[in-house]
Amino acid sequence: MTQLALFDLDHTLLPCDSDYEWGQFLARIGVVDSAYYAKQNERFYQDYKDGKLDIHEFLRFALKPLSEHSRVQLKEWHDQFMQEVINGQLRQKAMDLVKQHQDAGDLCCVVTATNSFVTRPIVESFGIAHLIATEPATALNDPLANYTGEVKGIPNFREGKIQNLHDWLANQNLNLSTLQKSYFYSDSMNDLPLLEKVSHPVATNPDDRLRTEANKRNWPILELFA
């Protein structure tokens, strides 16, 4: 029977937040108004950590730069972002955790609130083929067309992760409730809804609120970056 291993990305497999770092990168290279963007980026990041993020307001902010440039230009910047920021954040312990599940034959997937433009190349660096992320909409629903700045479907955040996961599993003729085992590794209290749905929740490099909850529920706690 199929076993499923789900991984959050930011502060779980990565010791940083790729969404935040992408925003800082754009500010640093002058693509966006550096002072304004850096200030807003900090505000949204703090709201996320505090569990009070307005996901729709944040996505209007985060996806706007994608709509203002061609896909070719965006890819060029993302390649630079990978080289300058992300590659140095790939940790062997995180790689080993993924490989352990892959070697066991588990179906592996990253489930992240960060949009797929930012995260897909990062997920590929871990050798993971499957990604459930917030999807930026494209013009005319053409996946190769320019981005519109809007969201396609449900933002992959909190309860939205559950709905998007169910839809993804259904496309593969699978169901969370009938899987032999399902793991979810996450650092964030924002992921409590999905952690409660899997058979094996693992608080991974957990924030203070999730650490308290994990201890209360006797969930395992994994430190990948200690």
pLDDT of the residue at 49: 86
Sheet of 181-186, strands arranged across: 147-152, 130-138, 107-115, 3-7, 181-186, 200-204, 221-222
Give me the architecture of the 3-15+91-222 domain, per CATH: 3-Layer(aba) Sandwich (3.40)
Do the first three CATH levels of 3-15+91-222 and 18-88 match, i.e. the same topology? Answer: no
Phi and psi, residue 181, nearest 5°: -145, 145
Domain boundaries, the chain: 3-15+91-222, 18-88
- Average the pLDDT over 40-69 and give the result: 93
Confidence check: pLDDT of 47 > 90: yes
CATH 3.90.1150.10 fits 18-88, yes or no: no
pLDDT of the residue at 41: 85
207 is catalytic: no
pTM for the full predicted model: 0.96
Q: What DSSP element (H or E) covers 134?
A: strand 130-138
- The one catalytic residue in 10, 19, 106, 191 is 10
| Residue 15 · residue 225 · CB < 8 Å | yes
103 is catalytic: no
Confidence check: pLDDT of 1 > 80: no
Confidence check: pLDDT of 38 > 90: no
- The one catalytic residue in 8, 19, 187, 191 is 8
Confidence check: pLDDT of 9 > 90: yes
pLDDT of the residue at 141: 74
